[in-house]
Structure 1
Amino acid sequence: MADSDNSRTLPVVTRRRLLSTSATWLAAQVLDVNAAPHPGNGPPDGGDPTLMLWQDWRAAHNQVEKFCRRQQRLETALIAAVGFPHVDITVPDQHCVIAAFTVEQIDRQFGDAPEHTKAKGAAKAVLAESQAAWDALDERIGYSRAKEAEEKAFTMREQRLNDLFSQPARSVVGVAAKLHTVIAMGEDSPGDEFPWPQIRVAMMDLLSIGQENIGNKE
């Protein structure tokens, strides 16, 4: 009993292992549902519609992760090659250098004083050159296109998430599917702060109950 209690201590509930285990188990349940008899053109007998919606969400979630990685890789390449569009300017009367990323920032720093007109114009020209270099490389490697694809993937995942949680679960497996989405989408949250450790333990409980129920049916 002591060993069992120790194995459930919250700090050892790792995110990746739980996500991988639960996703694999849920995917197996989807396969079982798909293999069940279909009444006409309807859903499989005894199937929980939540599982099908979870499968749709998971596909959308995988797309989000794919496009996020691509967008981040291209952004890193852009910054390494040409730097983020900006211009370093010396702030009048303050003898310090700051980075300006927009024309508005340049105008704000230099103000309307006539003696700063030339420096302000030069700063805007440098910023324009920096932006042009960024835009040219962006067009060539497809960073903006990747970012747009990422945004569309996020929108699709949100729609799939809403579909999933709008459907009442009819089984322990269905509840586990919903909880899996919460854990997956909260993966970047601190692993040792409430409520994430408790949510992960609840997921372990559902997996255990679900496996026991399936075992009892066999």
Structure 2
Amino acid sequence: MADSDNTTTLPRVTRRRVLAIAANAKEGRQPGKLVCDHAEADQSADPAVAVWREWLIAHEEAERRCRLQQRLERNLVETVGFPCATIPLHDGTSVRFHSIQALNEVLGPGPEDEAARAKFKADLEAHQERWDVADREIGYSAALLAEGEAADQAENLLQLLLETPAASLAGVAAKLDAVLSEGEPAEASAEFPWLHIRSVLGDVIRIGQELVPEQMLPNRLGTSKSGRRGGCTIGVSKGGKGGAA
């Protein structure tokens, strides 16, 4: 988890929005109707929900960039292969190494080993050059860097969300949703504490809908056929039916 100091790297517009909403909440203003589109965020809404909206955008962007770099990496591996070289050993077998350090753990200081080491180094460098050329062509390293930056942004916003006091059940639901999204190892995991957190989130949504039937609460418990969690959805209303936001 990122340190709270890292939150200083967040966009200023995010902090201005959060501070303004927090000020309104402190003055005792009633939370307005929560909407999924963060661009329509009401300044009287729960500050935790405002941060959750920002985090959700960053979280989905990080996931998108992760899928992109994984696809590019598979492309590189299938067309070029991870940089490596194969060297014959004294017992007649051959071993594939991916670094000179690994090779040095096997070879000794003798002349034959030195010749083998020199050949391995040349082969490895040639393979690395092929990898680098293909990397530049498809943009894998750039995609990997962008993924890391997006993941850092999402992590910083998650830390800010955890540090932002919720002012309503919607804010509590937002925090629980983020915890599930970031921590749950598998969709609908039955392991502790994920099953229990989903139960608590369901309770919060149910109680929130009973108190204010028309409000919308951050809730990504519902899953599509593809298994991907959706965005902000309406909780179960008094009539027993739910709807998509």
Fold similarity call, TM over 0.5:
yes
- Kindly indicate whether the alpha-carbon contact (under 8 Å) linking 2:66 and 2:147 is maintained by their aligned counterparts in 1: yes
- Kindly indicate whether the alpha-carbon contact (under 8 Å) linking 2:34 and 2:41 is maintained by their aligned counterparts in 1: no
CA–CA separation in structure 2 for the residues paired with 1:119 and 1:31: 62
Unaligned residue ranges in structure 2 (runs of 5+): 1-32, 216-245
Normalising by the residue count of structure 2, what TM-score does the alignment of the two structures yield? 0.68
User: By how many angstroms is 1:201 displaced?
Assistant: 1.4
Question: Mapping of 1:84-103 within 5 angstroms?
Answer: 84-93=82-91, 95-103=92-100
CA deviations on 1:59-78 (whole Å, 9 max, x unpaired) are: 11011101000000000000
User: By how many angstroms is 1:107 displaced?
Assistant: 2.4
CA–CA separation in structure 1 for the residues paired with 2:179 and 2:88: 48
- Kindly indicate whether the alpha-carbon contact (under 8 Å) linking 2:83 and 2:127 is maintained by their aligned counterparts in 1: yes
CA deviations on 1:81-109 (whole Å, 9 max, x unpaired) are: 0111111223334x443321112222222
What's the counterpart of residue 194 of structure 1?
Answer: 192
CA–CA separation in structure 1 for the residues paired with 2:170 and 2:213: 14
Q: CA 1:35–1:142 in structure 2 vs 1: closer, same or farther (change >3 Å)? A: closer
User: By how many angstroms is 1:35 displaced?
Assistant: 6.6
How many residue pairs align between the two structures? 182
What's the counterpart of residue 117 of structure 2?
Answer: 120
Among residues 145, 150, 153, which one is paired with 1:148 in the alignment? Answer: 145
Q: CA 1:131–1:31 in structure 2 vs 1: closer, same or farther (change >3 Å)? A: closer
What's the counterpart of residue 138 of structure 1?
Answer: 135
User: By how many angstroms is 1:156 displaced?
Assistant: 0.5
CA deviations on 1:105-125 (whole Å, 9 max, x unpaired) are: 222221211221211111111
Among residues 47, 50, 62, which one is paired with 1:49 in the alignment? Answer: 47
- Over the residues paired in the alignment, what is the CA RMSD in angstroms? 2.3
Determine what percentage of the aligned residue pairs are the same residue: 38
Alignment partner of 1:30 is 2:38? no
Normalising by the residue count of structure 1, what TM-score does the alignment of the two structures yield? 0.76
- Kindly indicate whether the alpha-carbon contact (under 8 Å) linking 1:176 and 1:206 is maintained by their aligned counterparts in 2: yes
Runs of 4+ more than 3 Å apart: 30-36
* Counterpart secondary structure, 1:128: helix
Question: Mapping of 1:69-80 within 5 angstroms?
Answer: 69-80=67-78
- Higher mean C-alpha displacement, 186-195 vs 83-92: 186-195
CA deviations on 1:121-168 (whole Å, 9 max, x unpaired) are: 111111111111111000000000000000001110111011111111
CA–CA separation in structure 1 for the residues paired with 2:79 and 2:37: 50
- Kindly indicate whether the alpha-carbon contact (under 8 Å) linking 2:173 and 2:201 is maintained by their aligned counterparts in 1: yes
- Look up the equivalent residue of 2:116 and give its one-letter code: A
CA–CA separation in structure 2 for the residues paired with 1:115 and 1:88: 16
Alignment partner of 1:63 is 2:68? no
CA deviations on 1:10-61 (whole Å, 9 max, x unpaired) are: xxxxxxxxxxxxxxxxxx823599475xxxxxx22xx211111000100110
Q: CA 1:212–1:91 in structure 2 vs 1: closer, same or farther (change >3 Å)? A: farther
- Kindly indicate whether the alpha-carbon contact (under 8 Å) linking 2:41 and 2:50 is maintained by their aligned counterparts in 1: no
* Counterpart secondary structure, 1:111: coil
Higher RCO (CA-CA < 8 Å; seq separation 6+):
1
